[in-house]
Amino acid sequence: MFLRNSARYPVPDTLLAPALNAEKRAALASQVNELSIWGEASPPTPASDPSRLRMFLSRNSALWGFARALKAWLFSPDFHTVADLTPKQLEYASVLDGEDWRTILTSRYRDAAEDDDDPRIMVGIWLTEWAIRTLDQLGKQNGSRATFVLLPTKESVFREKVKDPDRHPYFSKLINEEDRHRQHLISYMNRYGISYVDAAPPLREMAQQPYFENKDGHPNATGQARIAVSIREKIGDCPLH
């Protein structure tokens, strides 16, 4: 979003210059795309990249959103078929078969958005804080209150279920970085009196697994319901007027 309309986002030059230099060397989107498809195919070249069309459809077509969800459900490997994962796929994913919870972890892909050694991620962190404070102030100016929901990665929720982290590449790195960024963001919101819900603790405490058994990183119906309860508890005492 910043690259498409940089004038809207007042990123400090000290953060921006290193990020733009890194982007010139290799586009972050292409790197993440390769991780998301487990290295099975090369990401599209800039000339053929249909990202603008995808963006338009994702914003304006409910059918497009349904098709994406259906594709993810149909083609995401189920836990029962993880034996069919290729050696190449297993470079990007790892299988967790715990006593009560089991799933396919994709720590390497998730870490691409948490790795603060990359200056572009630092710009993303700065933009997140800027956006949160801007939206909070906009709400207050219009007599409303904003509450932000901090959604963890699946790997973060499974943290206590992983007894042998060394068998899951990038898992410990991802967890440490995510926890650090979450605590930094919480401190930022506390400093400015911004309301938030941290969904990580209640999801970690659940008896029933709140995520799918495949590589899908979104909460399942049980997890979504628990997040909804946390939000309802947070805003339950908020006056209607």
147: Cβ contacts below 8 Å, ≥ 6 apart = 195, 196, 197, 231, 234, 235
Tokens of 79: 């836990």
Q: Per the domain annotation, does 56 fall within a domain?
A: no
Q: Per the domain annotation, does 42 fall within a domain?
A: no
Residue-wise pLDDT for 207-219, tens only, equals 999 999 988 899 9
Burial class (CB in 10 A: 0-12, 13-18, 19+), 233: exposed
End-to-end CA gap in the chain: 34
Q: Per the domain annotation, does 163 fall within a domain?
A: yes
Q: Per the domain annotation, does 55 fall within a domain?
A: no
Q: Decide if pLDDT at 64 tops 80.
A: no
The secondary element (H helix, E strand) that includes residue 140 is helix 119-141
Q: What is the dihedral of CA 187, 188, 194, 196, to 10 degrees?
A: -60
Q: Per the domain annotation, does 15 fall within a domain?
A: yes
Q: Three-state SS for 198?
A: strand
Q: Per the domain annotation, does 53 fall within a domain?
A: no
113: Cβ contacts below 8 Å, ≥ 6 apart = 32, 121, 124
Q: Which of 139, 230, 121 is nearest to 184 (CA)?
A: 121
At 53 the pLDDT is: 62
DSSP assignment of 204-224, as one string?
HT-SS--B-SSS--SB-HHHH
Q: Per the domain annotation, does 144 fall within a domain?
A: yes
If pLDDT is split at 50, 70 and 90, which confidence band does 47 have? very low
In terms of residue numbers, what domain contains 212? 6-26+78-235
CATH number, domain containing residue 176: 3.40.50
Number of structural domains (the chain) is 1
Tokens of 226: 């628990």
Q: Per the domain annotation, does 97 fall within a domain?
A: yes
Residue-wise pLDDT for 137-190, tens only, equals 999 999 998 999 999 999 999 999 999 999 999 999 999 999 999 999 999 999
